[in-house]
């Protein structure tokens, strides 16, 4: 029996607007708890199926869509992705800025591949993490939010040389569109969400009525609504554009725990799921993110004492985590302080949804840690 007071106690100390926490195993939901409100203005209570901007938790789902194309033979993990996305055929690496502040580049040493994109080793970055990209956009002009111009940046390093959290999954989503002839959201609705029974997940153009609102804290620590929306725009953002629910994401977690299928629906073959689940970056350390905009995302490292790696879609830990997570587990998060983990060795996983900025909030992390400890207690 899971002690349902553990998450409640952590939430009481966290100063969050609301949390939905779920623990699952291969057979179903072991624990679910909903605490708090959708927003502090309306004070509407959260429901288990309240919709949240899941932000970068989109990445694992989009990676699954890309791996379905690998399984179908439409994409290759190691062929130059420029064959599918001509924009990436002759990538340039940013080397610095001239005296007038204009960016200087050189040709990349090798082609970008889908494997590079899915492992964040292609060379791309994020302007809120990497200050040189802020400087780049200051020189060439800030892109319109939601535009493809926002991901048309030079590389920060040669493909395969480093791990840096990035917009590369956005490009992987565009590769899925290129080989399927469908908008990413339409493809995923038919081939990912419907088979998984994820009935309340999708790319919305506006924040739906009743969805949880993003909050910030004022100087006194009081919560207030801060309108922020990552969706919409000219393309379906595979790196962070989905809106979904905790029960929907829990079904994705259970699919991974069950080797690529759920309730008789197979999403990916066992061999490719195994490929998705193993460390792909060798001796490179993955998972640490700096910050160029701490008001949006603080520096973050899930396991600062471990040499964490990256699979095709997930952070993976080589040692047992402090809350009980097995070596070889899979995890990541969304920028509004939503988090999940998948532990195939123990057959358990969990998801916690919240909507607070900036990312890496200590109170939210304490709640997620409590949820994880509950799963292994």
| Catalytic site positions | 56, 59, 165
Residue found under tokens 């993003």: 214
Give 192's contacts (C-beta < 8 A, 6+ positions apart). 61, 64, 65, 68, 198, 267
Q: What is the DSSP letter of 4?
A: T
Tell me the C-alpha distance between 53 and 56, whole Å. Answer: 9
Task: Name the residue among 330, 178, 150, 113 with its Cα closest to residue 240.
Answer: 150
Task: Name the residue among 63, 70, 312 with its Cα closest to residue 184.
Answer: 63
Q: How many CB atoms lie within 10 A of CB 221?
A: 7
Angle at 54 between CA 368 and CA 29, to 5 degrees: 55
Task: Name the residue among 259, 258, 281, 287 with its Cα closest to residue 272.
Answer: 259
Q: What distance separates the 2 farthest-apart alpha carbons in the chain?
A: 65
Task: Name the residue among 99, 229, 82 with its Cα closest to residue 159.
Answer: 82
């Amino acid at each position: 029996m899971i002690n349902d007071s553990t998450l409640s106690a952590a939430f009481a100390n966290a100063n969050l607007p609301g949390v939905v926490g779920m623990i699952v195993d291969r057979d179903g939901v072991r624990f679910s708890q909903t605490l708090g409100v959708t927003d502090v203005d309306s004070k509407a209570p959260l429901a288990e199926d309240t919709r949240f901007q899941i932000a970068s938790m989109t990445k694992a789902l989009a990676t699954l869509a890309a791996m379905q194309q690998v399984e179908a033979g439409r994409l290759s993990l190691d062929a130059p992705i420029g064959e599918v996305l001509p924009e990436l055929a002759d990538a340039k690496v940013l080397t610095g800025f001239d005296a007038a502040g204009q960016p200087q580049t050189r040709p990349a040493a090798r082609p970008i591949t889908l494997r590079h994109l899915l492992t964040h080793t292609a060379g791309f970055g994020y302007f809120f993490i990497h200050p040189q990209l802020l400087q780049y956009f200051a020189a060439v002009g800030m892109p319109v939010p939601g535009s493809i111009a926002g991901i048309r940046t030079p590389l920060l390093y040669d493909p395969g040389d480093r791990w840096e959290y990035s917009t590369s999954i956005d490009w992987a989503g565009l590769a899925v569109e290129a080989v399927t002839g469908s908008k990413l959201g339409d493809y995923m609705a038919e081939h990912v969400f419907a088979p998984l029974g994820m009935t309340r997940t999708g790319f919305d153009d506006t924040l739906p009525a009743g969805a949880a609102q993003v909050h910030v804290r004022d100087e006194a620590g009081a919560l207030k609504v801060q309108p922020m929306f990552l969706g919409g725009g000219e393309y379906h953002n595979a790196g962070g554009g989905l809106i979904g629910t905790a029960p929907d994401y829990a079904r994705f977690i259970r699919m991974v725990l069950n080797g690529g299928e759920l309730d008789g629906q197979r999403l990916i073959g066992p061999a490719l799921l195994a490929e998705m689940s193993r460390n792909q970056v060798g001796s490179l350390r993955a998972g640490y993110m700096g910050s160029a905009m701490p008001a949006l995302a603080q520096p973050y490292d899930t396991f600062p004492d471990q040499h964490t790696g990256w699979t095709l879609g997930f952070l993976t830990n080589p040692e047992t985590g402090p809350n009980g997570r097995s070596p070889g587990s899979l995890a990541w998060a969304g920028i509004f302080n939503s988090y999940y983990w998948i532990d195939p060795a123990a057959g358990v996983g969990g998801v916690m949804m919240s909507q607070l900025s900036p990312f890496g909030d200590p109170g939210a992390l304490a709640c997620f840690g409590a949820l994880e400890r509950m799963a292994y207690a």
